[in-house]
């Protein structure tokens, strides 16, 4: 067993890069066109086609895409935006960049997504709320059809944080296409990767135009456009205060290659997820991910809830804290066997900045607190070998015995 543990080393995920990426990434160096140019344009076009969105704009990250989307929708000082309290901190930070205020909403622990049944109560009581930012966490869409109904009823904007949402669907609609705007991440923890990188999609011409300017210092014409046209020696007008959130063309080249491999990447991830579902279904200490009917999970992560075999239908903070100690021991045991795991993500209201600012208690959003303390993401990547998979499962069983 000692020997086995030394030989096996299982990361939480793996990027799927090959010689295609290695070749594609040097081409911009040869042509000299290294800022957003032909490869970024191609990546955007492929991404828009795949998701079914009218427009796609590549950015430096999902966080900057969220910032751009909020600003392009006119969200700013004096406004409030609803964000689930169980998400990566970047969702809330992007709202703060605009000067708007974050209003947290708890999640449904079964899906890890915003608890849509709590939304109307929050919206009804606060006329400053101007937008909702549902997060399609770990690859599973939030209840977007219902959220869009509410948004229409109360005239709110919707920006989907689809950082993890690649290839997640409700029926035949891709994650990020329900709201006014959807934003994706290509960080190495995500299914397709460009190093850092993000994408904003929208069906609105007006938002798309604003985003293309805002991400490029507010310039009324992109560098690529200017260089292609006569009169490129003169700088264009700058009609708004913008940012530099442009993706490089090397990243664009990576994005194009990754989109060409998406079937392999996604079928590989789904196959491992399905094998976990089967192998873990009789283990009473773990609840495996739930996929509602008509939803297709994108499996950015395979996140279970560690229950230690307890009934968690009426959780208390004391119960969560007690089980949390055991979850952490379980994770340490797997780490000792060189199997990487992670907590799913964090409860943002418990993080010092947001906690101090709003004087939150951990139990203010109890399901989010439970998500933070009880979730566990298992290794997931395309190409996981049978040997690796069996090694993970046998060690999970041993650690729980
Ligand atoms: C839910 C969510 N939102 C936003 C982000 C930020 O993405 P990026 O690192 O591309 O800025 C992440 C990244 O982990 C995330 O998980």
Residue 344 Ramachandran class (φ > 0 left, ψ -120 to 50 alpha, else beta):
alpha
Q: Where are the beta strands (DSSP E) in 120-260?
A: 129-132, 157-161, 169-170, 173-174, 181-185, 198-202
Confidence of residue 396 (pLDDT cuts 50, 70, 90): very high
The DSSP 8-state label assigned to residue 247 in this structure reads P
Degrees to nearest 5, angle at CA 144 with 142 and 146 = 115
What average pLDDT does this structure show over 98-118? 98
Degrees to nearest 5, angle at CA 227 with 221 and 229 = 80
Ligand 1 atom, smallest distance to 196 CA: 10
186, 253 in Cβ contact below 8 A?
no
The pLDDT tens digits of the residues spanning 2-29 come to 545 458 999 999 999 999 999 999 999 9
pLDDT of amino acid 6:
54
Helices within 215-280 (DSSP H only)? 223-228, 249-260, 262-280
Which residues neighbour 96 within 8 Å (Cβ) at sequence distance 6 or greater? 102
157, 182 in Cβ contact below 8 A?
no
For the chain, percent of residues with pLDDT exceeding 70? 99
What average pLDDT does this structure show over 208-216? 97
Ligand 1 touching residue 219 (CB < 6 A) = no
pLDDT of amino acid 231:
75
User: How far is the centre of ligand 1, averaged over its atoms, from the C-alpha of 269 (Å)?
Assistant: 19
What average pLDDT does this structure show over 356-378? 97
pLDDT of amino acid 308:
96
pLDDT of amino acid 234:
86
Q: Are strands 129-132 and 80-84 parallel, antiparallel or unpaired?
A: parallel
Ligand 1 touching residue 198 (CB < 6 A) = yes
Confidence of residue 225 (pLDDT cuts 50, 70, 90): confident
Ligand 1 atom, smallest distance to 185 CA: 10
Ligand 1 atom, smallest distance to 65 CA: 11
Take atom 16 of ligand 1 and give the residue whose Cα is closest.
88
Sign of CA dihedral 313, 316, 322, 328: positive
User: How far is the centre of ligand 1, averaged over its atoms, from the C-alpha of 232 (Å)?
Assistant: 36
Rounded to an integer, what is the distance from CA 165 to the centroid of its chain?
6
**Which of 275, 394, 265 lies closest to 337, judged by CA?**
394
Ligand 1 touching residue 303 (CB < 6 A) = no
139, 158 in Cβ contact below 8 A?
no
What average pLDDT does this structure show over 359-379? 98
Ligand 1 touching residue 163 (CB < 6 A) = yes
What average pLDDT does this structure show over 167-183? 98
- Alpha-carbon distance of 40 to 291, in angstroms, equals 33
pLDDT of amino acid 3:
47
The pLDDT tens digits of the residues spanning 185-208 come to 999 999 999 999 999 999 999 999
Ligand 1 touching residue 384 (CB < 6 A) = no
- Alpha-carbon distance of 182 to 62, in angstroms, equals 10
Burial class (CB in 10 A: 0-12, 13-18, 19+), 153: exposed
- Alpha-carbon distance of 106 to 349, in angstroms, equals 10
* pLDDT exceeds cutoff 90 at 353: yes
Domains detected in the chain: 2-13+262-400 (3.90.1150.10), 19-260 (3.40.640.10)
**Which of 211, 277, 206, 217 lies closest to 242, judged by CA?**
217
- Alpha-carbon distance of 87 to 134, in angstroms, equals 10
What average pLDDT does this structure show over 279-289? 97
Take atom 7 of ligand 1 and give the residue whose Cα is closest.
62
Tokens 């895409």, residue?
A: 65
Confidence of residue 262 (pLDDT cuts 50, 70, 90): very high
Take atom 8 of ligand 1 and give the residue whose Cα is closest.
62
Q: Average per-residue pLDDT in the chain?
A: 96
User: How far is the centre of ligand 1, averaged over its atoms, from the C-alpha of 90 (Å)?
Assistant: 6
pLDDT of amino acid 173:
98
- Alpha-carbon distance of 328 to 224, in angstroms, equals 51
Residue 304's beta-bridge partner residues?
376
What average pLDDT does this structure show over 102-118? 98
Its pTM stands at 0.97
């Amino acid at each position: 067993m000692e020997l086995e543990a030394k030989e096996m080393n299982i990361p939480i995920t793996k990027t799927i890069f090959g010689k295609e990426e290695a070749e594609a990434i040097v081409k911009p160096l040869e042509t000299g066109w290294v800022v957003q140019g032909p490869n970024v344009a191609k990546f955007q076009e492929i991404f828009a086609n795949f998701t079914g969105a009218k427009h796609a704009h590549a950015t430096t990250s999902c966080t900057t895409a969220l910032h751009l989307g909020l600003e392009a929708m006119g969200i700013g000082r004096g406004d409030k935006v609803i964000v689930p309290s169980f998400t990566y901190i970047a969702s809330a930070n992007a709202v703060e960049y605009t000067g708007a205020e974050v209003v947290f909403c708890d999640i449904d622990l079964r899906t890890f997504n915003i608890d849509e049944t709590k939304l109307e109560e929050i919206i009804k009581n606060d006329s400053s709320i101007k937008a909702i930012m549902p997060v399609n966490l770990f690859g599973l869409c939030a209840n977007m059809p219902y959220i869009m109904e509410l948004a229409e009823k109360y005239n709110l904007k919707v920006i989907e944080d689809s950082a993890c949402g690649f290839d997640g669907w409700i029926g035949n609609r891709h994650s990020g296409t329900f709201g006014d705007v959807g934003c994706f991440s290509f960080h190495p923890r995500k299914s397709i990767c460009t190093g850092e990188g993000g994408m904003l999609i929208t069906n609105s011409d007006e938002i798309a135009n604003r985003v293309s300017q805002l991400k490029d210092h507010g310039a009324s014409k992109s560098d690529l456009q200017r260089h292609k046209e006569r009169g490129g020696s003169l700088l264009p007008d700058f009609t708004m205060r913008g940012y530099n959130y442009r993706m490089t063309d090397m990243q664009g080249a990576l994005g194009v290659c990754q989109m060409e491999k998406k079937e392999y990447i996604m079928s590989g991830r789904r196959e491992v997820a399905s094998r976990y579902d089967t192998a873990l279904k009789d283990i009473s200490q773990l609840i495996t991910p739930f996929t509602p009917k008509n939803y297709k999970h994108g499996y950015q992560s395979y996140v279970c809830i560690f229950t230690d075999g307890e009934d968690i239908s009426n959780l208390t903070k004391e119960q969560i804290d007690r089980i949390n100690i055991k979850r952490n021991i379980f994770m340490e045991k797997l780490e000792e066997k060189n199997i990487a795991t992670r907590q799913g993500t964090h409860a943002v209201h418990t993080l010092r900045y947001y906690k101090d600012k709003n004087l939150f208690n951990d139990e203010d959003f109890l399901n989010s607190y439970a998500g933070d303390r009880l979730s566990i993401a298992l290794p997931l990547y395309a190409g996981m070998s049978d040997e690796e998979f069996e090694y993970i499962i046998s060690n999970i069983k041993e650690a729980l015995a």
